[in-house]
Amino acid sequence: MMASAPHGGPRAPRIDGERLWRRHLELARHGALSAGGVDRPAFSAIDAQARRQLVDWGRAIGLVPSMDAIGNLFLRRTGRRPELPAVATGSHLDTQPTGGKFDGAYGVLAGLEALASLHEAGLQTERDLLLVVWANEEGSHFAPTTMGSAVFSGQLPLAEALAAQAPDGGRLEDALPAFLAAHPEVPRQDTAPPLHAFLEAHIEQGPVLEAAGLPLGIVTGIQGLRWLEVDVRGQEAHAGTTPGSVRRDALRQAVQMARALFAHFDALGDSVRFTLGRWRVEPGSPNTVPGRVRFTIDLRHPREAALADGEEAIRQLCETHAGPCTVAVERLSGSAPIVFPEGIRDLLDQCADLWAFPRMALVSGATHDAKLLHGVTTTGMLFVPCEKGISHNQLENATPEHLAAGTQVLAEALLRLADA
Ligand code: HGY
Ligand code: MN
Ligand code: MN
């Protein structure tokens, strides 16, 4: 059952945009980089520090923290009828290695600010409100991306997540206990709380809203995603004594595969997104012919069929260019495209109307925890612009006004959902 179509004026209290902006700067200190970005790896001590800061801010407005077995952090605001499924909002606090201040953090701080404004206005809702920090959304160290929300929604078994291995060989099952223990004041709560709805606010991480000159986007859906790894094996050899004609050079063949893959996907135009993000060359010595090369593929498209065709083309082209080496292509993870329910998009649109913010509908090019929550509850997303659409980059930037606009609409929608 969705919240009733908003009638009358806005009901949410005015949020404090200055406090919201200030908290982004304070949170960005945890993992601050010299060029203004943030490196806050999932499950690291820095990630735990940022979370402890959030728990302190939450406690100050009466939020009660808990954490589940994969490290998803929940801050609960009790409503008049705690027996009803809660309304949740949030995002993630882990970042890319050269991340920015806003990817993920905005959705968490916008949710905190919405709950703080209700607290200060003395407004209690029917349903509990839950602020959530999903663990390891980026997946850049321990794959897959959106790991915490995938475990919460039952789409990734906990045991499989714990078996995740980082490029340096470290296993999550060895790193997680210290991370969980770094939140001594947060009790464990392993049963997933039932949710009535989940809303996520996020920077767009693309150029559309800024180009349109709009402060807000109502997200219609999220494109599909597949992560693969290509593993090319040849034979290590002496760089000085081994003639090219007898080499089984894994890097030479991997480069030819990459060239063919770029040519293939370039020809498909801008609707497909194809990225070779991480290369591992072994043994990585200047005077030894590489015997093994592994490289990752991040493939995205709004249509599942195009993803399937893309994966098939990847497999064929890698085989074609294997030369004297062998090649294996492994699918690491993936998620199908989703469309958010009309009802929640309409509610967000109407709440934006109540606060007189112009907006547009758009698809998300980036993936988000809301995609995984889509499988277990009614989900929706709000976007605000970021400067030049730059993200996963230290230059990521947004304006206090846009962050406040998205937060105000989020607060209005949460209030209406929690009273439905
Ligand atoms: O990869 C993504 O789309 C997200 O930003 N982690
Ligand atoms: Mn994100
Ligand atoms: Mn990201």
Residues 191 and 293 in one domain: no
- Burial of residue 412 (number of CB atoms within 10 Å: 0-12, 13-18, 19+): buried
Query: What would the mean pLDDT of 319-330 be, rounded to a whole number?
Result: 98
Indicate the average pLDDT of the chain. Answer: 97
Q: Give the 3-state secondary structure of residue 186.
A: coil
User: Does 16 appear as a known binding residue?
Assistant: no
Residues 348 and 257 in one domain: no
Among 368, 371, 381, residue to substitute to test ligand 1 (most atoms within 8 Å of Cβ): 368
* Distance, CA of 209 to CA of 13 (rounded, Å): 26
Count of structural domains, the chain: 2
Instruction: Assess if residue 191 is contained within a domain.
Output: yes
pLDDT at 170 over 80: yes
- Going by alpha carbons, the residue nearest to atom 3 of ligand 1 is 366
Q: What integer pLDDT is reported at residue 2 of this predicted model?
A: 55
Query: Residue with structure tokens 């999220």?
Result: 222
| CA-140 nearest atom, ligand 1 | 6
Residues 239 and 306 in one domain: yes
Residues 312 and 341 in one domain: no
Q: Give the residue among 45, 411, 371, 37 at the shortest CA–CA distance from 222.
A: 371
Instruction: State in Å: Cα 363 to ligand 2 middle.
Output: 15
Query: What would the mean pLDDT of 166-176 be, rounded to a whole number?
Result: 95
Residues 295 and 325 in one domain: yes
Instruction: State in Å: Cα 380 to ligand 2 middle.
Output: 15
Instruction: Assess if residue 8 is contained within a domain.
Output: no
pLDDT at 1 over 50: no
Kind and range of the H or E run holding 409: helix 400-418
Q: Give the 3-state secondary structure of residue 219.
A: strand
Residues 166 and 264 in one domain: no
Query: What would the mean pLDDT of 133-149 be, rounded to a whole number?
Result: 97
pLDDT band at 415 (very low <50, low <70, confident <90, very high): very high
Q: Which of 304, 335, 366 is the last residue of a domain?
A: 335
Instruction: Assess if residue 390 is contained within a domain.
Output: yes
Residues 230 and 360 in one domain: no
335 close to ligand 1 (CB < 6 Angstrom): no
Q: Distances from the Cα of 405 to the Cαs of 6, 112, 217, in angstroms?
A: 18, 14, 11
User: Does 138 appear as a known binding residue?
Assistant: yes
* Distance, CA of 17 to CA of 408 (rounded, Å): 9
Instruction: Assess if residue 198 is contained within a domain.
Output: yes
Residues 209 and 229 in one domain: no
Residues 328 and 341 in one domain: no
* Distance, CA of 113 to CA of 404 (rounded, Å): 9
* Distance, CA of 91 to CA of 410 (rounded, Å): 13
Buried/exposed code over 250-263 (b: 16+ C-beta within 10 A; e: otherwise): bbbbbbbbbebbee
| CA-368 nearest atom, ligand 1 | 4
Per-residue pLDDT tens digits for 252-289: 999 999 999 999 999 999 999 999 999 999 999 999 99
Q: Which of 298, 318, 335 is the last residue of a domain?
A: 335
CA pseudo-torsion sign 352, 357, 363, 367? negative
CA pseudo-torsion sign 56, 61, 67, 71? negative
Per-residue pLDDT tens digits for 52-68: 999 999 999 999 999 99
Residues 292 and 378 in one domain: no
Instruction: Assess if residue 400 is contained within a domain.
Output: yes
Instruction: Assess if residue 307 is contained within a domain.
Output: yes
Among 96, 149, 392, 393, residue to substitute to test ligand 1 (most atoms within 8 Å of Cβ): 392
367 close to ligand 1 (CB < 6 Angstrom): yes
User: Does 202 appear as a known binding residue?
Assistant: yes
Spell out the residues 6+ positions from residue 407 whose beta carbon is closer than 8 angstroms to its own: 15, 17, 20, 110, 113, 114, 201
Q: What integer pLDDT is reported at residue 308 of this predicted model?
A: 98
Residues 252 and 198 in one domain: no
Q: Give the 3-state secondary structure of residue 270.
A: coil
pTM: 0.96
Q: What is the CATH number of the domain that holds 252?
A: 3.30.70.360
Give 353's DSSP letter. Answer: H
Q: What integer pLDDT is reported at residue 3 of this predicted model?
A: 58
Residue range of the domain that includes 274: 224-335
Instruction: Assess if residue 1 is contained within a domain.
Output: no
Q: Give the residue among 180, 214, 145 at the shortest CA–CA distance from 48.
A: 180
> By percentage, how much of the chain surpasses pLDDT 90?
97
Residues 36 and 184 in one domain: yes
User: Does 94 appear as a known binding residue?
Assistant: no
Q: What is the CATH number of the domain that holds 70?
A: 3.40.630.10
Buried/exposed code over 53-87 (b: 16+ C-beta within 10 A; e: otherwise): bbbebbeebebbbbbbbbbbbbbbbebeeeeeebb
Per-residue pLDDT tens digits for 192-217: 999 999 999 999 999 999 999 999 99
Q: Which of 311, 335, 359 is the last residue of a domain?
A: 335
pLDDT at 18 over 70: yes
User: Does 321 appear as a known binding residue?
Assistant: no
